[in-house]
Structure 1
Amino acid sequence: MGRVRKALVVGGGIGGLSAAIALRRAGIDVDLVEIHTKWTVYHVGIVVQGNFIRAMVALGIADECVAAGFPYDGVEFRDLQGNLLADIHGIKLAGPNYPSDLGLTRPALHEVLSRNAIKVGTNVRLGVTFNEIRQFDDRVEVSFTDGTTGTYDVVIGADGVNSKVRQTIFGEEFKPKYTGQGVWRYNVPRPPELNRAVMYSGLPTGKCGFIPLTQDTGYVFLVQAEPEDLRIPEDQLAPEMRKRLASCTGVMAQLRDQIVDSHLVVYRPLRALFMPPPWYRGRVILIGDAAHAVTPHMGQGAAQATEDAVVLGELLARDEPIGDLFEAFMRRRYERCKFVFDASIQMGEWEQHPTPDADPTGLTAKLMPTLAAPI
């Protein structure tokens, strides 16, 4: 049989770093390769819910994550005039000492994850990825772009939506698809009255809102239908984002008018992918966006990647056949990730193609008990 003693993690994002921490806590030696030479992430915010914080507790870093962000409770749904449509409170899944929801910047989260991955003994190599992965019954041999080689018990592909590991192991068949929408983000000072997430409906083919990130900052976001090949000159991003928010009133109008620096506008087309099972072949397994890249409508991308990591770390600590462990991983992760993926895609479809039975608040409320279930 042979217990897993050494693993390779490909990708130094949220999922990869979480996996490295989880495996090191399980006593497994970990090499992590990240193709970028500078270990940086773009300066936008993310919103995470109680299941993410619960996963951070399992990794031993929840206190640091909460301290780096802005804890709050649930989400308000309002129309463009500011009228309250629904108020959904979060669930404190990590226990009474932790919040139900948390906003924080990507750089702040990255700093916590990378610092702890190194602290627990992960061997991190930047500016390096793999050239070739060769699988055998009892090992995986990997050659790297820096001319070195390594032998591992397992390889974990955590290299994102455009995963090279996925392409190498599963072929060209599985590629992310454009969902029809794009997301705009811009960091602003946090108004004192906005101390939780707020979503505003009423925009054509989308929604906008505000997420608090720290005591002093937050971000405005806009999700709506955009051409897949949208091309806007970089110096026009701010006026284009303001134009799309022209119908906002009240505090959102005030925040809209602060969107002035085009170089600080972050726009991304939304692409999604959900791999059929299994997410592994032999001794190589995919986690996070490499297997299930979800849109941000339910705020679950980071959470699902970290849950993958926690479950994988727990399972690989066992002295059982790799195939059995990977099958156990699929049993615990597939249906849960599929529910989140389908709900996120449904949200986007309702925004682009409204129907009489569209119920975003109801779907959000339905998601809560699913996320509360143990992983």
Structure 2
Amino acid sequence: MSVEPVKAVLIVGGGIGGLSLASALRDRGLDVDLVEIQKEWTVYGVGIIQQCNVVRAMADLGLVDRYLDAGFPFESVGMYTADGRLKAMIPGQRLAGPRYPANLGISRLALHRVLSSAVLEKGTRVRLGTTVARLDQDAAGVNVTFSDGATGRYDVVVGADGLYSKVRGLAFPEAPAPRHTGQWVWRHNFPRPAEIDHLATFSGPDGAAGLRPLAADLMYLFVTSVEPGNPRMPADQLHTLMRDRLKGFGGLIGTLRDRITDPAQVVYKPMEVLMMPAPWYRGRVVMLGDAVHATTPHLGQGAGMAIEDALVLAELLPQAAALDDLLARYMARRFERCRFIVDSSILAGEWEMARRQDVDRVGLVKRMLEVTAQPV
């Protein structure tokens, strides 16, 4: 019996995972529509770290060359005490090959500009201010009704629409809801001093702080905090609140703390997690990224897991095989790896909230690097 290959794909969600997948599928000649619920294609947050495995995935997707000049390459991860004493310097691996750095920091705005321009250049049809309202599947395809009343038919629909995914709600109504872990993360951009030429993480009495290089002249400072009940924060007090959550740190972190004076420059976010049970597909609808495996930022792998999802789906979907078999292979390659990242990141947060000093944080990071260095 002949197998009809996938030709037309709808991607719901224009974040990092959805854009990476759209670009890669267009490279392989598939017809791709992408819808994004935001009317203005903006990005949230300050920056992102692409660790060794993520640089490799972006190189495999053919995208990393587009933004090397817009980011900051670095080789190592440093782990420090609250007052700035070095505990361990963990070297990275150049998994993408010797011409690429082990790791790369980049602002989210710069990354979005590169990915969105690539998607448009390659002929993806993008519609903003739109999501899906209804999905009706049959054996040969999916009939989609969009939120603006338009309709379309596709061989595959990919839900890449984040933690509160509309696609997940339509295709998997029984799926668990995201949960707040009890922690928040606070971020603020600063000029980058010369000594922050690596990813630096500091263990404090009530949480972790860190400095992440993003460009030759830019880095960001982050701090995690315990916020039970996920409270509402007054917008005009964010600078004071972030400084308060940094009070247990000295050294460079302490110096920077006193320079946080503008509440508008503080970006804060509750930590919410989700690990949807397998499978992440139903019929011709398949999910990726935060829509099925949202994690905390403790190991810096959230966006990376979405990019790896995109890499695997882009490799599998064009193949001449039964779709169910292709999606089963996607699950076999992605589920345990993503679960390891989610579980390990949650564990790191639980250590912080319990103020545990008897745990091996360095060992956890090394284990993460060992696992993610394995082939995708």
TM > 0.5 fold call: yes
Structure 1 residues 100-130: Cα deviation after superposition (integer angstroms, max 9, x where no partner): 1111111111111101111111110111111
Choose from 128, 131, 134 the match for 2:136. 134
Alignment of 1:105-254 (within 5 A): 105-204=107-206, 206-254=207-255
Pick closer, same or farther for the CA change 1:102–1:228 going to 2, 3 Å: farther
2:257 maps to 1:256: yes
> 2:353 aligns to what?
352
- 8 Å Cα contact 1:304/1:337 also seen in 2: yes
Equivalent residue pairs, number? 374
| 1:90 to partner: Cα distance | 0.9
Report percent identity of matched pairs. Answer: 50
DSSP-derived class of the 2:42 partner:
coil
Amino acid corresponding to residue 353 of structure 1 in structure 2: A
- 8 Å Cα contact 1:228/1:269 also seen in 2: no
For 2:300 and 2:197, the matched residues in 1 are separated by 17
Alignment of 1:29-178 (within 5 A): 29-178=31-180
Structure 1 residues 213-246: Cα deviation after superposition (integer angstroms, max 9, x where no partner): 1111111100121123322211110011111112
Structure 1 residues 251-272: Cα deviation after superposition (integer angstroms, max 9, x where no partner): 1112111211101101100000
Structure 1 residues 28-65: Cα deviation after superposition (integer angstroms, max 9, x where no partner): 10000001110011241111101111111122111123
For 1:16 and 1:291, the matched residues in 2 are separated by 13
- 8 Å Cα contact 1:188/1:258 also seen in 2: no
Q: CA RMSD in A?
A: 1.2
Amino acid corresponding to residue 116 of structure 2 in structure 1: S
Pick closer, same or farther for the CA change 1:354–1:244 going to 2, 3 Å: closer
Structure 1 residues 4-25: Cα deviation after superposition (integer angstroms, max 9, x where no partner): 0000000000011011112111
For 1:64 and 1:258, the matched residues in 2 are separated by 33
Structure 1 residues 170-228: Cα deviation after superposition (integer angstroms, max 9, x where no partner): 11542111111100000011112211111111231x11111111111111100121123
- 8 Å Cα contact 2:8/2:156 also seen in 1: yes
Structure 1 unmatched runs, 5+: none
Structure 1 residues 306-336: Cα deviation after superposition (integer angstroms, max 9, x where no partner): 1000100100110111100000000011111
Amino acid corresponding to residue 282 of structure 1 in structure 2: G
Amino acid corresponding to residue 111 of structure 2 in structure 1: L
> 2:309 aligns to what?
308
> 2:28 aligns to what?
26
> 1:320 aligns to what?
321
Amino acid corresponding to residue 220 of structure 1 in structure 2: L
For 1:225 and 1:66, the matched residues in 2 are separated by 35
Higher alpha-carbon deviation: 333-342 or 220-229: 220-229
For 1:355 and 1:247, the matched residues in 2 are separated by 15
Pick closer, same or farther for the CA change 1:11–1:279 going to 2, 3 Å: same
- 8 Å Cα contact 2:57/2:307 also seen in 1: yes
Amino acid corresponding to residue 347 of structure 1 in structure 2: A
For 1:287 and 1:354, the matched residues in 2 are separated by 33
Amino acid corresponding to residue 124 of structure 1 in structure 2: V
| 1:355 to partner: Cα distance | 4.5
For 2:35 and 2:333, the matched residues in 1 are separated by 27
> 2:271 aligns to what?
270
TM-score by length of 1: 0.97
For 1:334 and 1:280, the matched residues in 2 are separated by 12
For 1:229 and 1:310, the matched residues in 2 are separated by 34
| 1:165 to partner: Cα distance | 0.5
Higher alpha-carbon deviation: 80-89 or 356-365: 356-365
For 2:243 and 2:257, the matched residues in 1 are separated by 6
Higher alpha-carbon deviation: 333-342 or 278-287: 333-342
DSSP-derived class of the 1:303 partner:
helix
Higher alpha-carbon deviation: 195-204 or 354-363: 354-363
For 2:172 and 2:142, the matched residues in 1 are separated by 16
TM-score by length of 2: 0.97
DSSP-derived class of the 1:9 partner:
strand
- 8 Å Cα contact 1:45/1:103 also seen in 2: yes
- 8 Å Cα contact 2:180/2:230 also seen in 1: no
- 8 Å Cα contact 2:145/2:152 also seen in 1: yes
| 1:247 to partner: Cα distance | 2.7
For 1:327 and 1:254, the matched residues in 2 are separated by 51
